[in-house]
Structure 1
Amino acid sequence: MDSLALSLFLFTIIYHNTFSSYASHLSYTDYCASVVPNSTPNFSKFKVFPPSQLHHGYYIGGIYRRDGQKHFSLEIKNAHETDVAGILYVGAWFTIRTGTWYHRVHHHHENMWNNNHFPRFLTFSLDGFWSESSGMLCMVGTETDDTPQLELLEVVLKLYNVVSSRRNISTLITGSLESTSSEHEVSYFEPISLFIFPTIDYEFTLDAKETKKEYAGEGEVIPGFPINPVRFCSNISSMIDDIYDLQYQSECNAAKNCSPIGGDANKLPSYMSVNSLVCSDVKQRVKILMEFGNYNSGSRLSFHPNSTLVGEGWWDEEKNQLSVAVCHILGMEESIISVHVGDCSTRVSMRFPMIWSINDASSIMGHIWSIKSSGDSSYFKRIVLKSHQDKREIISGIKYEYRFLEKVRKYCPRQRSLKNKGIGYPDVYSSDMKFDMGVEYREQIIAWGFSIPFAVNDQLLNLDQNSAPNSSHTQQFISSNSSLYNVSYQIGLGLTLDAKLGEKKSLFSATQIDVDFSAEGIYNAEAGTLCMVGCRNLGSQNQIPTTDFLDCEILVLFQFQQSKSKNSGAYIRGSIKSMRNNSDPLYFNPLKLNTIVYYITKGDQILRKVYMERIMSLVWTTLLCVFVAFQLYHVKRNPDTVPLIFFVMLSITTFGKLISLVLNFHSFFSQNDYAKKKHLFGEWLALTEVSVMIISMITLLLLLQLLKLTWSARKTGIIHKGLLIAKIKKVLCVIFPLHVAGLLCALLVFRNSTTDV
């Protein structure tokens, strides 16, 4: 008993001394007395902090310049009674995720960003007081991290509405984190606004029966999957925590009467992210946080109260959908103390469709709308939401429904099956059905793309690999032939950076460099043909894809090449063309498609061609050198034959060899060109080029010697003119047919090579 009393006495002395020394350095009275009065803590009387021991929240402003999720946590480490009833002394750890922080320093009336930056996480040790009656918490403290390049950070934390009663959808804790340094100091940072959505002791208060009638105006929707009530929370959280693409009515050209969050009249949110906060398996309810943003604004997934909504959702067993009543965060234009949750006039529905199609292939679909009258300033038109992430692996039993098989039969040519022993085409479930490709126009690659099988017959394929589904097919095949399959594809094309769009009727444009297709059709496994009808969205990314904004007059053809080896890869050639008339404004010029394997094969062919050319050049140069050497040996033994040498042809040959040698020298001494060839074709080809250059130099010297002897013999020797002409005619009769034959062979080879490409 005595030892316990001694321990409590020492603990009290240590705590009291620590708080006293700390308070003398950073005075609580100077920064917090006006919020919660200073009291004398009784360190021998421990208390449990009534609101919660741990809080997680979001923040805005301050020194965090990068976009992204801005999180912080407040962990209560101890709480003690004080000499004033209803006031507790509280110690806590405050941890904030910083990313990259920069100091804004005021120097000579100018704002400058200091190059020093904080670590990724900062932790502060805080002490202060909490008032139960006002719900205010004020604390002061310093950072605990050892950051030698920075001065010690001293801060003041103020939180409002930290109540001990049960929380509901309107409960929101707000506050601020401020620096105690002056503006000209390096350790100063601008104030940070804090937002906490409490999750402990949460009470769902919205009346589902009262708001259920507000969901009657959705019209006909695709039936959704039911959800297991036993594991409601685990299932619903894994499904709805996602990013959703928003699609507006076609007449929404500005934010007026279209945006669920107001704001800039020229910018509609392009996505909505959902994060579940609290869930109840018994009541089948969930509290969610909805954040709206724009893909192109640079503020993706960045919290801001003006674009954040909080809501309560319940599972509607009759419609198999999650119905959510959503509220706004108001009062930001005034002060952080006045921020509150209100205006719960927004409704959201989410369902998990049982049937997917070419235009409706999303794991989650739903709507967002306002229940206010159309004349209200905050009213907005109904918005379609579709999950951005494909979660088909989580949902089992999804069926695919084809819409354009009749059109496929009309436009796709029938191919005969080519049955050759040992030669076949890819199985419909093999990995060769998924391929990357290049897009050609006028023999130039203008884009790269991909083709991924989405469904075979009425069964969706797995995301990671193509595999045959275990369940039986419920939709009939297009014929009794087992080699014919209904297939659906997702196709994406992206324009290259150096592509030139000189044509008006191009699939691409300066504002649309990426084109995505959804296509469905028929794969003939015996003929190796894949013929599909595709659809592309013509409107902006934020418009509902109605028939007015979809172009489904697109024909996609692929022809698989026969392969003897299973590991040789898929060699596929194809095309994308418009089925519209040339005068139609939606018509675009046809494009050729080739798989990446084609370009790899083509590159191998070019490499083999280069090797062959260098070998032939080496052989030809060596033979020429040998023949010229033999010629010199012959004229030395028979000097009387020197005047009979055809001087003009010898001069042309010598001059041609000189030009070739000069070009080879230029290539050799150009380090960039030599290094490029060495990198592309290897050491052997570079060595061959050097050998050709050396042999060419020797040949040139021999030709110059022969030319000199011929010229000297012509000047000093006597030869009959008629005999010389006769000799020249004989030479021409032999040389001319050989040159003509060589030219014809070259033309024939060139013609065959162009027809094969």
Structure 2
Amino acid sequence: MWLAGHLRPGFMVKEPAVVAEGRWDSALGTLCLRACRVLRSGPTSLAVQEEDDCDIGMGFWFPADWTVRDRSIVAGALWNTSHGAAGAVSASSIDFDSNRGNFSDVEYRYTMVDEAKKRYYADVLRGHINKAKGPFPAANFTYHDFEFRFFMDNVTGGSELGEAHPVTIGSAMVYGDQLAADDSFSRHAAADMEDGLLAVSYDIHIRHLPPHVNLMRPNMTSAVAIEERLVTAEGVYDPNTGVLCMIGCQELSGSTTDCQILITVRFSSLDAKAKGHGRGVISSLRARTDPLFFARMDIVLFGMYAEKVSESISRMDMESVMLVISTTLPCVFTALQILHAKRSPEASAATSTTMLVVLALGYVAPLVIGSEALFVSRGTEYTPFQRKVPYKPRQAILRVPTLIAFVLQLRLLHLAWSARRSAADRSKAETAAAAERRALWVCLPLYLLGGALTVALHVSNSRRAAREESLAVRVGPEPATMWEDLASSAGLALDAFLLPQVAMNAFSSGGAARAISPWFYAGGTVVRGMPRVYNAIRARGYAPSMTPSNVYASPRDDRFGVAWDVAVPCGAALLAVLLFLQQRLGGAFLFGSRRSGGYEMVSTQLEH
């Protein structure tokens, strides 16, 4: 079946069509119809043929039994009423998007479970018995844990994605309405285990994408032809090894059906630390010389178990609270610094304006990125846990306190600038300005070098990603934009926000001046260091999925990793300690003596 994106084409007037009417026979459970052919009577109009041509009889019903070969949602027959029931043509429907919700009255008959057991014991179990480590989904888990999505990692001439949905687990029909499926599943639970194996059946949808098209990041501006095929399968699942072994059937062109397909899937354990949901293989059981033989296809599963989803949601709630705290505390610390500056104008004049500008720009970055997201097409918001989805709560959480902190930072910058311009001692003001310029010459090249490296790495990664896009499906977060990469690198400048102040104090020839409130530099250092500590703790207890959903300590805000998590907090703490010593021992205490050019004021009053 060929689809335009996910949209199936509607009624085409060039196709043969009929107009039918009839009745529902409740005794037989059958819809009985009589139909008339429809012909084109003009370029843009249709007309029903003469009544004599209304000789098409139709009957449709809902099958009561399903098998791996026949899972028709609706079955029926068509015949010529003038010839009676002779020459009737059977009809069936397998609708990928069925609107029928409840299939609890349908009974499923397993016909290939014995063959799947033989394959599992003979071929599959030997290769997985030593790999089974950790707990796997058991028979009494939610049926959502048995659903999985996957992509092919060795496909040429395009890419393939797939979804596998359980139809039955044991004797429980879990296809269709979720409420009915949950009730059926909970009532049967693990009662259908036999020899430690659980019989299961699946519907597996596989979509083949043309080259240069990626369904995970679709271009919604143009229609895309996607080939979709359905594989029905049934087999056994071993909760001890987490291995699913099934025999599948695929309807080919015409009336040919290939039921010589072996599907093996190994789920990840519930406590797995690796990314992904597991791996699997789809292979043909036919000889290589058989026309229906196809090459082995390796699949990579992605998704999360229901338990992991619940844990992830709880973690995101906790991280949201931490994010609110971390964005509110800078407002408090900046307000305390403003009070400190008003009480001591001389200290305000000794504050580094470069440091204040860096902090102000740091608050502007998330506001700019949030505004950019407002103009992104809604078509990019196509699946949960992708880049844009976590940004929605983040934007709402960040915007107000970040805007307040930005305004307070501008006020603090205004106080420092005004105090320096209106200083009573012009020599001290000129000395502070000279030290500020020298500190700027130290810091500015570092900032520019960091920005240049970020741009170069972004361009290199973008080119490599563009080459990979045409070769395989990339499942994971969308690559960062230039703005996001720059904002992430700017996080390092914010981590070292005390560097301009420490450099300015070192170049200053004045004595000790408590320009910065301890609340401001100590509190700011703690706020910048906490994401690193949390990221190190999170890495030990949380297995990231292929599409991570970090709200706090996100790579979009800063650089994270083992080396960064150690180096950045240590560097920020070192700057805070240096500033503490400078404000008590003098800015140039590291040089062992005051710089030349400074004068010490002594009393000239004589004692009498």
Shorter-normalised TM range: 0.3 to 0.5
TM-score calculated relative to the size of structure 1? 0.37
Greater gyration radius: 1
Instruction: Between the two structures, name the one with larger relative contact order (CA 8 Å, sep ≥ 6).
Output: 2
TM-score calculated relative to the size of structure 2? 0.44
Greater fraction of residues in helix: 2
